[in-house]
Chains A and B, each alone.
Chain A
Amino acid sequence: MMKLIDSINNFFSVIGGLTSFTLRFFVEVFRPPYEITEIRKHMDELGVKTFSIVSITGFIIGLVLGMQSQPVLARFGAEMFLPGMIALSVIRELGPVLTALIFAGRVGSGIGAELGSMRVTEQIDAMEVSAVDPFRFLVVTRVIATTLMLPLLTIYVDLIALLGGYVAVIITQNMTFSYYIQLVLDAVRFSDIIPGVSKTFVFGFVVGIVGSYLGFNASKGTEGVGKASTTSVVISSLLILLIDSVIVRLTLIIFPD
């Protein structure tokens, strides 16, 4: 019973801490110095870290989606709709959400571990004592980098997934690549692309802020670092799925067609 009460206390303490951490981010993000070099460095690192895994995942998403859907559509004589169906599924939902979940696993855990390790080895204290605001230098730069990088990665994953989808199509049908692209463009509208990409800014922000919060407040040595790393993946993933369901509902209200 006491363990349950502790867990509930802990949950609300994380939520409260995360909220005030997020508010602090919005205060600090507009204050100079802007540390552009540091943001660019983090964006480079995040891109390199996730490039190969999202490439493989993107290709497989498109391939599997195409292979699974083809027999169903063939049953109704609607195979021509396969490129459009792959494109809509990937661009509206699978691309953004799966990329964000991979990003949370790869990048969120990395931020949690890195900042956690800096906290327990007094590097964050050293920064503070040298009159440099560690929040601005370590947190703001990372959160901006994740917020800007995830949409770029998602667009890339969408394109790779469409390529995977084309491979699935040509396994069963004789279709040229240009005709495949034509069918994709016919099916996809502006109102499909904008919400799909826009929500990844929010997902990127969530991954950055959760990983930074848990790492920045890590304690208890290496155990704390490990906890910051794994907890950041769990919380980010849950928040991504939760926020996604809200955004999907909002999107359907804003773009009813």
Chain B
Amino acid sequence: MLKIENLHKRFGDLVVLDGVNFEVPEGTTTVILGRSGIGKSVLLKCIVRLIEPDKGKIFIEGKNIFELTLKELNELRKNIGFLFQSSALYDSMTVKENLAFPLLRHTGLTNKEIEERIKEILNLVGLAEAISKMPSELSGGMKKRIALARSLILNPKIMLYDEPTTGLDPVTSKEIAKLIIEMQKKFKMTNIVVTHDMVVALSTADKILLLENGNFIFEGTPEQLLNSELDIAKKFLSTKLD
């Protein structure tokens, strides 16, 4: 479904990705774990070509995304949902307008059908009452839910989560993790979750990759991570225990 080969990215002298390789099988959730500023979000943004890597290949559904024209890339992007760290809701639009934005541009749905789809997706994330609100009227957790709803509204095959729980309290973080699992069960998407939150990592992952110094130093299941002797893995696990 998604395959990354020998991906390199540096900013000036800082090497962020140093020959990264990995594969995400269809319908599974891969969590990329790592400390803040280590390059997890850069990796995620390379997958949708928001950032161009220096070298390497990314295959989505067998196509190397760096060989696609802009039109072909945009066709592909319609199948990818992206939940941004900052939620990235359009702050000049209401929740309803935020959700209608992709539908109006990429589907031939009537206004009534769009309205129904918006209500359906808002019910899924448990925020039907927020339909007329502006993003500035929402809490951090609500923003994440609405942003998730917007990412899911076109029924993407691949879902990318960039630090889905950053800045949220532990209770809301757990709710978001639960929502990721629910959405995965419902839509059978291929997920990549970038996080440094162990609760999210352990509860959502089929496979965990640990990024350190530009490459993965661990690849395995949540259980394997729990039993790992790696120093950095232990440090991450200790944060969970704290």
Which A residues have a C-beta under 8 Å from some C-beta of B?
33, 114, 117-118, 121-123, 125-133
Which of the residues A33, A125, A131, A132 comes within 8 Å of B88, measured between beta carbons? Answer: A125
Alpha-carbon gap, A120 to B106, bound state (A): 26
| B188 sits at the interface (CB 8 A) | no
Interface window among B7-15, B23-31, B77-85, B200-208 = B77-85
A-chain residues with CB within 8 Å of residue B175 when the two chains form the complex:
none
Chain A nearest CB from B40 CB (Å) reads: 15
Q: How far is the CB of A171 from chain B (nearest CB, A)?
A: 46
Q: Is the CB of B82 within 8 A of A126?
A: yes
Contact B101 A132 (CB under 8 A): yes
B209: chain A residues at CB < 8 Å are: none
* Interface size class of chain B, counting residues whose CB lies under 8 Å from the partner chain: 20 to 34
Residues of B within 8 A of A128 (CB): 50
B90 close to A (CB within 8 Å): yes
- Say whether, besides A122-B84, A125-B50, A125-B84, A131 and B90 are in contact (CB < 8 Å): no
| Chain A contact surface mostly | helix
| Contact between B75 and A122, CB atoms less than 8 A apart | no
The complex places the Cα of A61 from the Cα of B78 at a distance, in Å, of 53
Q: Within 8 Å CB of B89, what residues of A?
A: 123, 126
Q: List 14 A-B contacts (CB under 8 A).
A: A122-B84, A122-B85, A122-B86, A123-B89, A123-B91, A125-B50, A125-B88, A126-B84, A127-B90, A129-B77, A129-B82, A130-B101, A130-B105, A130-B154
Q: Which 9 A-B pairs have the closest CB atoms?
A: A126-B88, A131-B74, A122-B88, A131-B77, A129-B82, A122-B84, A130-B102, A131-B78, A122-B86
Is B42's CB within 8 Å of the partner chain A?
no
Find the residue from A33, A117, A131 having the highest chain B CB count within 10 A.
A131
Find the residue from A33, A114, A125, A126 having the highest chain B CB count within 10 A.
A126
Complex contact A130–B90 (CB within 8 A): no
**Chain B residues with CB under 8 A of A33:** 105
B interface vs A, CB < 8 Å?
A: 45, 48, 50, 74-75, 77-78, 80, 82, 84-86, 88-92, 101-102, 105-106, 150, 154
Minimum CB distance partner of A41 in chain B = B92
Contact between B80 and A129, CB atoms less than 8 A apart: yes
B77: chain A residues within 8 A (beta carbon) = 129-131
B residues in contact with A121, CB < 8 Å: 86, 88, 91
Contact A131 B106 (CB under 8 A): yes
Q: How far is the CA of A250 from the CA of B163 in the complex (A)?
A: 57
Shortest A76–chain B CB gap in Å is 56
> Whose C-beta in chain A lies nearest to the C-beta of B93?
A123
Q: Is B102's CB under 8 angstroms from A123's CB?
A: no
CB-CB under 8 A from B92, the residues of chain A are 114
Chain A neighbourhood of B82, CB < 8 A: 126, 129
State the CA gap A121–B105 with chains docked (Å).
22
Q: Which residue of A lies closest to B48 (CB)?
A: A129
B37 to A: closest C-beta gap in Å: 15
With A and B bound together, what is the CA distance between A132 and B74 in angstroms? Answer: 8
Residues from chain B with a CB closer than 8 A to the CB of A132 are 101-102, 105
Q: How far is the CA of A223 from the CA of B4 in the complex (A)?
A: 35
Q: Which residues of B contact A117 (CB under 8 A)?
A: 91
Give every chain A residue within 8 A of B90 (Cβ-Cβ).
118, 123, 126-127
Other A-B contacts than A117-B91, A126-B90, A131-B75, 6 sampled, CB-CB below 8 A, are A122-B85, A122-B86, A123-B89, A130-B101, A130-B106, A133-B74
| Inter-chain contacts of B101 with A (CB < 8 A) | 130, 132
Q: Which residues of B contact A118 (CB under 8 A)?
A: 90-91
